[in-house]
Structure 1
Amino acid sequence: MASGPVARVLVDSPLPQLDQLLDYRVPARLADAVSAGVRVRVPLRTGGRIADAWVVELAGRSEFRGELSEVQDVVTDVPLLMPDVWRLARAAADRGAGNASDILRLAIPGRYVRAEKAWRADPGEPGALPASGRAIDGYEPGRVERGLAEGERMALHADPRTVRLPSGTWVGAWAVTLAEAAAHVLAHDRSSVIGVPDYRDQEQLQAALGELVDPRRVIRTDARQSGRDRYRAFLDATGEAARIVVGNRSTVYAPAARLGLIAVFDDGDGLQSEPLAPGVHARDAALIRQEQSDAALVFIAQTRSVEVQRLVEVGWVHDVPLRRGTRPRVVLTEQQPAPESGGARIPSAAWREAQEAIAQGPVLVQVARPGHAPMLVCDRCREPARCTACGGALAVPRSGGPASCVLCGTSANGWRCRICEGTRLRAAVVGASRTAEELGRAFPRSRVVVSDGERPLVRVDAEPKLVVATRGAEPIADGGYRSVLLLDGERMLLRESLRVAEDCLRWWSNAAALAAPGAPVFLVGVGGAIGTALATWTQPAWAAEELASRRALRFPPAVRMASVVSSRERLAEGLERIRGIGGVDVLGPAPVDDGLERAVVRFGYAQGAEVAAALKAEAIRAATERRRPVAGRRPGRPPTLRVRMDDPDLP
C-alpha cells in the first residue's frame, strides 16, 4: 500500500476502460503545484505514452499495493476543474453510458498561455452587485421570485412579444424575463448559468442583461469566440465573484460561485442536443446539476417540449403560467370560410394583408429551406419525389429546364411515384432565394432581404421591407413585424421524424412571437390539432396530448431509448446480458453500414441507471477483449460497440 501524497486523476482519453480514477504518486518537486482541479501529465503503461489528466482529489495513501507511477508534469497549476463541475460531469457521463473525460472536454476550453498570464496579472474587477433585484414581470406577483429563493424547478410560459429596452434595442420578452431572474439572483450574491440555442438568442439576452446589471458581471462563452477569449472567460468564471454566465448548450457545465439559477431557453431546439459523445442533452445536464445543488431551475420557451411536459405531469417541474392574456393573432388559411382552389402558395387574404402591412413596416415570410431550386413531390399523393438512380431529391435547376436529381444530376424524365404510380410532379417547397425573387417581382417597390444559414441576420430595422427567412433564422424586427406569413407548413410536416410536429409548432411559434401586437400571422396549408394549438396559443395542451399518444405507443419521452451499434456477433452477446434486466425490451437488430447492425433498447426511467451501467460494461468489454489470431491474417482491431442513450436520431 503506497503512502502519499497521491493524486487521483482522470485520464483524458476516449477509451471506456480508462474512465476511472487512477492513482499516481506526487513527486516532491511537484508537491506545491499539484492540487485538486489542475491539469497534469501522467505516464500510461501501454507503449510508454504520456497523457493529459485531471487531478480530481489528493489522498494520503493509495489502496494499490504495487509501485505507483509518478505524475510527470503540471500543465497549469490553476485549478480549472471545480468540484461541482466534476460531480456534474461524472453523473452526466454515467447517465449517458459514456466517459466523464468527454464531458470535461466540452466543459473546459483548451489552455491559452498568454490569456492565463494576463488573467494572473489582472484578474479584473467584477463590478458592483445590483442594489436589489427588479420584479419579474408578467407572472403572478412574487411567484417566480419565491421559486428562485427556494431552489424550485419551474417551467415558465414565455411572453410572446418583442419589447423595447431603455437603450432602444428590441428583444424578445423572454430575454427580459431571464435577465430579470438572473439579476434577482445576482442581487443576493449568487451566480446564474443560462443556456440558449444560438448566438441570436445570446445577443438578445445580453442586451437585456446590460440594462439591469454591471456588464463586468456577465460572462459570455460560446463557439463564436476566439479560443483565447473563451479561455479568459472561463478563468473569470472560476473566481469567487458571483457572475451570470451566458452561452450555448455547454454553458450548463460552466463553473459558477454560489450557483443560484440554472436556466435553459427553448430546450426543444435541436441545437440544445449535444452531438458529441456521450450526447447528454443540455436539459438533462441542467436537471442533474440542479439536483446536485440548491439552485433554482427554469425552463422557458414559446413552445413547451414534450420532455418538459412529462416533468410537469409527474410533478418534478412546476408549471408557471403568464398572468397576462396576450398572444399573437394567428389565422389558419385552411379554416377560412371560403378556401381557395388551385393550391396557391400564398392565399389572397394573406397576400392582401402583406400588401397593406408592408406600407407600415417589415413583413416576415418564413420558408422551409434555403436556396433557389424548388423541391418536388408527387402531384397525386404528395410523396417526396426521389431519383430512381440514387434516391436523391428531385428539384428544378436554377437555370431552368427539366427536373433532375440534386445529387447525381439524373433527369426526371419517365419518373413514376413508387407509392401511387403517379407520373406528375409539383413544387412543394421553393427555396428562400427563389421566394425572394418571386416576391421582389410581386412587390417591385419594396426591398427584399434574405436571412438563412449562409446569410444570417440578427435584427432588421422598422423600415418597410420583405424579410424572407428559413425556419430558425428569422431576425428580430424593431417594433415587431407588421405581418407574418408562415409558408411551406405542409412540406415541413412531411419530414420523417418522431419530433416533426413538435419541431414545426416550435418554428411557427417562435416566428409568430416576432409579430407586432395585433399583427396577423398566417399559417398556410396546415390545420388540425397542431394548427389549432398555434392559433389558440395552447402549446402546453398540445404537448400533453402528444405525450399521451407517445405513452400509449411507448415512445420517448414516455420511456427512454438507447441505440447500440456493433458487429452482429458482438451485438448479440451484449444484448443477451441486457435482456436480463426487468422492464427492458430490445427492438432489432437491423443492418446499418460497414457490416454493423443497430439495436434499440427501450426501458423505463427507473431502469435507466442499471441499463446505462450494463451498456457501459459492454462497451468496455468490447474495447478490451482480445480476438484469436487467424493463420495468415494480421490481427484485427477488437469489435467496437457504440452506445447512444436517448438517441435523437431514432425515428
Structure 2
Amino acid sequence: MPDELGDVVPGVRVRVPLRTAGRVIDGYVIELDSEDDADRPLSEVDSVVSQVPVLPDRLYRLARRAADRAAGSASDVLRLVIPKRQVRVEKAWKADSPQVVSTEEQLASAAELVASYDGLEEVLESGGRAAVEAIPVHHDGAPGWAALLASSAARMLAAGQSSILVVPDHRDLDQLLAVLATSVPAEAVARYDSRQTNPDRYRSFLRSLEDAPCIVVGNRSAVYAPVRAGLVAVWDDGDPLLGEPLAPYINARDAALLRQEQEDSALLFVGHTRTTDVERLVAHGWLQDVRAARRVLPRVVLSTPQEMDAPTAQRMPSSAFLSARNAAAEGPVLVQVSRPGFSPSLVCAECRAPARCAHCGGPLGAKHRGAVPVCAWCGRGARVWACPACSSTKLRLASSGSERTADELGKAFPGIRVIVADSAHPVEHVTDKPSLIVATRGAEPLAEGGYRAIVLLDGPRMLQAPDLRIGEACLRWWSNAAALAAPGAPIHLVGVDGSIARALATWNQSGYARSELAERAPLHMPPAARVALVEGSASAVGRALAALQELALPSDAVLGPVPVESEDYPPRVRALVRFDYGAGAKVATTLRAAVVAEAVSARRGKGKSTRIALSVRLDILDPEL
C-alpha cells in the first residue's frame, strides 16, 4: 500500500492494476494484512476512490456465503447491492447524518396488530423464524399484509432496531410505503427501488450504512442491505420476481435464510399462501407456524367444469354471472383472466391446429376482432396465412384475453363501467362505484372497501401450463386475488375442482403445500432436494459430472446429459444433478471448481471459441430436461 494514500480502512473502494490484463479496475478492501513473498510480487493500489466504507464486514460475509451456496462469485452479489458512487450525495451525507427517534405512540399502535397473531410477538423479541399467514382483510384502506409488515417494522424501530422488508414488485412496494408513511417518520425509511435515480439509490444505501436504526423497503436486492437488522421479512416468497435472473441466481428467500443464521435476526415469511419451500422448513421445525388469533376467511364458491353453461361465451357459469351482476349494482366486481390482449392465440378454423408465424414459428394472435394476425415473438403481421396441415386460410379466435373478455362482459352488463387492468393498462386503485374490472393475474387494482364479488376465470387454462409448480402458482394467484374481496363477498372459482380447489375453498394453502411436498419427495424434485443445472460442451460437462462422482452421490442423482437445441459449435449439452441439502456445500464447491478450471483452460488455449465452456446454476425451481 503506497504511503501517500494514507490510512485505508476495510470496506472502501479502491482502484487496482491488473498486470495480466493491462488495465485498472475498481474493487473493495476486504481486510488489511502484511505479506512478504519474493516469488509472488504484489502490485500497489493505484488510488482510493472514497474513504466511505461501503462494504462493511457483515455485508461481505453475507455475499460470500450466498455465493458459496450458489457456486458463484461474491462480486456478482455485491454488484447487485452496492450502487455507483455519487460524489455530491456522498458529501451531503457526510455533512448531515439524520438520527431517528421513535415515539411511544408508534410502539403502541404497532403492538396492537402484532398481538393479533399468536406467537408473533415472541418471534420478534427472541429473533426467531416464522411462516406467517396474512389475514385477507384490509386495515384503514391498506392490504392486511402491508399493515402487518409495517407494524412489525415499527415495533422494531421503536425498540431501536432496523428492519428489512422485501416485496416482489413495485405495486407491493408502493402499497407498503403508503402504510409506512402513516406510521413511522419519513427519515426512518430507506427505499431500495430499481425505479429510483442513481443519486436517490445511493442516498438510500448510505442511509442503511448508518448506526441509527431504519426500515429498508425494496425488492429482492434489499435483502442484502448493510443495516444491522433486527428483522428481515419477505412478502409472497413464491413470486418468481424474488428470484435473481443474473448469476449466481440467488432467490431472496435463500438469502434471507442465510442472513438470519449469520445475524440471529427475526425472520418472517409472510403470505396468503404457503410455498413448498417454506412448508418444508415448517415441517422440519426450522420455521414456526404463526397464524392470526382470529382467522377471517373469504367466502369461496366453487363452480365445477360441469356448470359451464353460462350466457357469456360459455366461460362463466350462471351462479357466478348472477352473483357478479347483483354485486356490480353496489360496487366494483373483479374478473380475473389468464392473459392480456384481445385474443392471445389463433387456430385454424378448419382443423384447429395452432396458427404459427411463417418466419419464426411463434404463435399468432389478434389485437382486436378483424385485425391482422401478429406474431407474439417477432411482431410480424401475417396478412397472408395458410395452415400447413390442411391448407385452409381461415383463422379462428382460440382464447380470450383481458380486452376480449371486457368486450364480451360489457355487452352482458349494460350500463356498468368496464375497466381493463393488465400490463398494457396498469390500474392501481378503483373507487367503490359500480364497475367491472377485468384484470390479469397480478395486475388486480385495490378497490375502495374491497370488491363486492370476485370471479376467477380461465382456471383450467392456467393449470395446463407445463410447469412443475403450476398448481402452487395458481393457488397463489387466486388467493392473492381473493384477499382483495370485501368482508363476506362471494369469490367464484370457475371450472376447477380437486385438491387445489378445496384448498382455496377451505383456505388451507399450507395443507396443499404439504401434499405437494409429499408427492415430490420420492422423485427427489425440488424443494425436497436441491437441483443443479450443468450446461456446456460435452467434454466440459463430462468432466464436471466425473468430479461429482467422488462425492458418493446416489446412482440416480444425475439426469442426462442431453443435447441443447442451438446452433452453437461445438454442440452443448445439459444435465441436472439432484442432491440432498446436507451435500450442498460439497456439490457447490466441486461445481465451482469445475467452472474455474474450464475458464482457465479456455483462456490458455488459442483459437478456441470465446463462449463459456461450462456454466452452473443451483436451486432450479422448475427443472426441465
2:598 to 613, 619, 622: 622
Pick closer, same or farther for the CA change 1:402–1:117 going to 2, 3 Å. Answer: closer
| CA positional deviation for 1:271 | 0.6
Q: Which residue of 2 aligns with 1:519?
A: 489
Query: Contact 1:94 / 1:612 at 8 angstroms: preserved in 2?
Result: yes
Pick closer, same or farther for the CA change 1:576–1:493 going to 2, 3 Å. Answer: same
Amino acid at match of 2:401: G
Query: Contact 1:136 / 1:145 at 8 angstroms: preserved in 2?
Result: no
Pick closer, same or farther for the CA change 1:341–1:350 going to 2, 3 Å. Answer: closer
- Sequence identity, in percent? 50
1:359 aligns with 2:329: yes
Pick closer, same or farther for the CA change 1:572–1:230 going to 2, 3 Å. Answer: same
Query: In 1, distance between residues paired with 2:120 and 2:27?
Result: 41
Residues 59-68 or 327-336, more deviating: 59-68
Residues 494-503 or 387-396, more deviating: 387-396
| CA positional deviation for 1:498 | 0.7
Residues 574-583 or 368-377, more deviating: 368-377
1:149 to 102, 125, 129: 125
Q: Which residue of 1 aligns with 2:562?
A: 590
Query: In 2, distance between residues paired with 1:136 and 1:424?
Result: 63
| CA positional deviation for 1:241 | 0.3
Query: In 2, distance between residues paired with 1:380 and 1:157?
Result: 50
Query: Contact 1:36 / 1:79 at 8 angstroms: preserved in 2?
Result: yes
Per-residue CA deviation, residues 292-332 of structure 1 (Å, 9 max, x unaligned), is 01201000101111100001111111111222131111111
Query: In 1, distance between residues paired with 2:315 and 2:529?
Result: 39
1:363-382 correspondence runs (5 A): 363-376=333-346
Q: Which residue of 1 aligns with 2:170?
A: 199
Query: Contact 1:309 / 1:540 at 8 angstroms: preserved in 2?
Result: yes
1:433-472 correspondence runs (5 A): 433-472=403-442
Query: In 2, distance between residues paired with 1:350 and 1:638?
Result: 55
Query: In 2, distance between residues paired with 1:51 and 1:476?
Result: 47
Residues 492-501 or 423-432, more deviating: 423-432
1:525-544 correspondence runs (5 A): 525-544=495-514
Query: Contact 2:118 / 2:293 at 8 angstroms: preserved in 1?
Result: no
Query: Contact 1:245 / 1:254 at 8 angstroms: preserved in 2?
Result: yes
2:47 to 64, 68, 73: 73
Query: In 1, distance between residues paired with 2:437 and 2:58?
Result: 45
Amino acid at match of 1:232: R
**Given the two structures, how large is their TM-score scaled by the length of structure 1?**
0.88
Q: Which residue of 1 aligns with 2:618?
A: 645
Pick closer, same or farther for the CA change 1:415–1:517 going to 2, 3 Å. Answer: farther
| CA positional deviation for 1:346 | 1.6
SS in 1 for 2:200: helix
Q: Which residue of 2 aligns with 1:160?
A: 136
Query: Contact 2:341 / 2:367 at 8 angstroms: preserved in 1?
Result: no
Amino acid at match of 1:213: V
Query: Contact 1:405 / 1:412 at 8 angstroms: preserved in 2?
Result: no
Per-residue CA deviation, residues 37-80 of structure 1 (Å, 9 max, x unaligned), is 11110011213211111111112446675332111011111111
Pick closer, same or farther for the CA change 1:382–1:199 going to 2, 3 Å. Answer: farther
Query: Contact 2:366 / 2:372 at 8 angstroms: preserved in 1?
Result: yes
Query: In 1, distance between residues paired with 2:310 and 2:325?
Result: 21
Pick closer, same or farther for the CA change 1:153–1:384 going to 2, 3 Å. Answer: farther
Query: In 2, distance between residues paired with 1:515 and 1:380?
Result: 42
Query: Contact 1:387 / 1:393 at 8 angstroms: preserved in 2?
Result: yes
Corresponding pairs, count: 611
| CA positional deviation for 1:401 | 7.0
Query: In 2, distance between residues paired with 1:130 and 1:415?
Result: 73
1:28 aligns with 2:14: no
1:267 to 237, 240, 259: 237
1:609 aligns with 2:585: yes
SS in 2 for 1:522: strand
| CA positional deviation for 1:598 | 1.0
Residues 170-179 or 209-218, more deviating: 209-218
Pick closer, same or farther for the CA change 1:138–1:236 going to 2, 3 Å. Answer: closer
Query: Contact 1:386 / 1:392 at 8 angstroms: preserved in 2?
Result: yes
SS in 1 for 2:487: coil
1:48 aligns with 2:19: no
Amino acid at match of 1:28: D
Amino acid at match of 1:96: A
| CA positional deviation for 1:441 | 2.7
Q: Which residue of 2 aligns with 1:37?
A: 11
| CA positional deviation for 1:436 | 2.0
1:189-228 correspondence runs (5 A): 189-228=160-199
Pick closer, same or farther for the CA change 1:512–1:175 going to 2, 3 Å. Answer: same
SS in 2 for 1:56: coil
1:84 aligns with 2:58: yes
| CA positional deviation for 1:413 | 4.7
| CA positional deviation for 1:376 | 4.7
Amino acid at match of 2:618: M
Residues 200-209 or 285-294, more deviating: 200-209
Pick closer, same or farther for the CA change 1:360–1:62 going to 2, 3 Å. Answer: farther
**Given the two structures, how large is their TM-score scaled by the length of structure 2?**
0.91
Pick closer, same or farther for the CA change 1:388–1:341 going to 2, 3 Å. Answer: farther
Contiguous gaps of at least 5 residues in structure 1 = 1-25, 165-169, 418-422
1:295-314 correspondence runs (5 A): 295-314=265-284
| CA positional deviation for 1:360 | 1.3
Per-residue CA deviation, residues 487-509 of structure 1 (Å, 9 max, x unaligned), is 11111111111111111110011
Query: In 1, distance between residues paired with 2:45 and 2:337?
Result: 57
Amino acid at match of 1:340: D
Contiguous gaps of at least 5 residues in structure 2 = none
SS in 2 for 1:509: helix
Q: Which residue of 2 aligns with 1:8?
A: none
SS in 1 for 2:495: coil
Pick closer, same or farther for the CA change 1:623–1:174 going to 2, 3 Å. Answer: same
RMSD of equivalent CA atoms: 2.8
1:328 aligns with 2:298: yes
Pick closer, same or farther for the CA change 1:621–1:572 going to 2, 3 Å. Answer: same
Query: Contact 2:99 / 2:212 at 8 angstroms: preserved in 1?
Result: no
Query: In 2, distance between residues paired with 1:326 and 1:375?
Result: 39
| CA positional deviation for 1:456 | 1.8
SS in 2 for 1:97: coil
Query: In 1, distance between residues paired with 2:401 and 2:114?
Result: 38
Amino acid at match of 1:373: S
Q: Which residue of 1 aligns with 2:461?
A: 491
